[in-house]
Amino acid sequence: MKCHCEESRQRRDDEAIFLDYPCGQRDKVRGNTRKEMFKSRKRYINFLIIPEGSLRNISFRLSFWKTWMILGLLSILIIVLIILSVLYGKAIYGGISDKSLRRENERLKKYNAKVVELEKELEEYRSLTRRVAELAGIEYPFSPNPQKRATNLALLREDTSTLNKGRILSSLENTETGSKLSVQNESERPHFPIRQEAQIEADSLRRIPKGQPIDGWITKGFSLNESAFGGEHTGIDFAAKESTKVKVTADGTVSFVGWDDVYGNLVMVDHKNGYVTYYGHNSKILVNSGNFVRKGEVIALSGNSGRSSAPHLHYEIRKVENPAAGGNGIPIDPTDFLNPK
């Protein structure tokens, strides 16, 4: 109560002093007083923290400008974190997109390889058709005239006995052995049907090793240099898990089936044109000696038999210069036969 009285008395004294000023100066004095009071008064924000389970409270205060500065820094930090989160999300999405693109690229490469293989086979059939057309003495490519094209197709279906014998230019040649049938005179010329000659040439092509014998990847290549790293290696090795199907790469006759100290369970196929293929380190053999096998037929299951450190297939191609004389032949690089042009 005493404090209230003193404050009232002080206010009355201030008002008395204020009234002593002339009327013209009172407004000026009042304005200066307010400015001094505003400058002298500092504005704070009080913070009170009451911890749970504790009797001691934590209180502090911050001036307005410090509070706004802290809020501004926090806002900037939040904006930076949002930007970093967006950039990180984009980076992750980009990585996922790159992986998808790589997978799609691999798929396209496989499709392209299949298309290239089909184009090669189509070109082989075109060459065969061209050869047959030359033997028949008819126009190739066939004429766009439907009637003439039908006539040409009919000629292909006829036997050579119904054709002019002078149209047949030469007999088929054996491209692998180099032997060539030459016709000395018209009476000695063989009179095979056109389709039979085409079949003979197609069979000859199917006896040439072509493509991979197993689904796997090459881990060791061909080398006849004994001083090279790894020494001499007369074939190529395909890494594959055990019991993967092993397929013969060309038509032929199984010439050997059995155990070899180096090759393990070995299958040898004689293609009757100077080529002999070896399939070694198998876990199981599915053919017998003397069996005739066609290209793509499964002859064994891959393994780790013989002199081998891991499951794989040893694939080897040998060339016998004189098939009639026999012999083991000379090893040649199978890489040239995996994707022939």
Instruction: Report strand pairing: 217-220 vs 236-239.
Output: antiparallel
CATH fold of 217-338 reads Glucose Permease (Domain IIA) (2.70.70)
- With cut-offs at 50, 70 and 90, classify the pLDDT of residue 99: confident
Q: How many CB atoms lie within 10 A of CB 98?
A: 10
**Structure tokens, 27:** 């407004």
d(C-alpha 36, C-alpha 211), whole Å: 100
**Structure tokens, 205:** 């092509």
Measured in residues, the chain has a length of 341
pLDDT at site 222: 92
Lowest-pLDDT range of 159-163, 192-196, 302-306: 159-163
DSSP 112-150: HHHHHHHHHHHHHHHHHHHHHHHHHT--SSPPS-HHHHH
**Structure tokens, 296:** 């793509």
d(C-alpha 233, C-alpha 212), whole Å: 18
DSSP 180-210: B----SGGGS----HHHHHHHHHHHHHTS--
Residue range 302-307: mean pLDDT, rounded:
94
- With cut-offs at 50, 70 and 90, classify the pLDDT of residue 256: very high
Q: How many CB atoms lie within 10 A of CB 50?
A: 10
Identify which of 17, 22, 12 has the alpha carbon closest to the alpha carbon of residue 33: 17
Element (DSSP H or E) covering residue 303: none
The CA-CA-CA angle for residues 246, 247, 251, to 5°, reads: 150
Average predicted confidence (pLDDT) for the chain: 76
Q: Answer yes or no: are the C-beta atoms of 237 and 313 closer than 8 Å.
A: yes
Most confident range, picked from 67-71, 202-206, 302-306, 323-327: 302-306
The CA-CA-CA angle for residues 232, 235, 237, to 5°, reads: 105
Range list of H helices, the chain: 2-20, 23-40, 64-136, 146-157, 194-206, 335-338
d(C-alpha 325, C-alpha 241), whole Å: 38
pLDDT above 70 coverage of the chain, percent: 64
Q: What is the pLDDT of residues 12-71, one digit of tens each?
A: 666 655 555 565 555 665 555 555 555 555 677 888 888 887 778 888 888 888 888 999
| CB-side neighbour CA atoms (13 Å) of 84 | 6
- Dihedral (C-alpha) 182, 185, 187, 189: value to the nearest 10 degrees? 20
Identify which of 279, 272, 280, 278 has the alpha carbon closest to the alpha carbon of residue 320: 272
d(C-alpha 51, C-alpha 57), whole Å: 7
Q: Is 167 helix (H, G, I), strand (E, B) or coil?
A: helix
Q: Answer yes or no: are the C-beta atoms of 83 and 76 closer than 8 Å.
A: no
Q: Answer yes or no: are the C-beta atoms of 267 and 300 closer than 8 Å.
A: yes
d(C-alpha 266, C-alpha 287), whole Å: 11
Q: Answer yes or no: are the C-beta atoms of 316 and 234 closer than 8 Å.
A: yes
Model pTM? 0.44
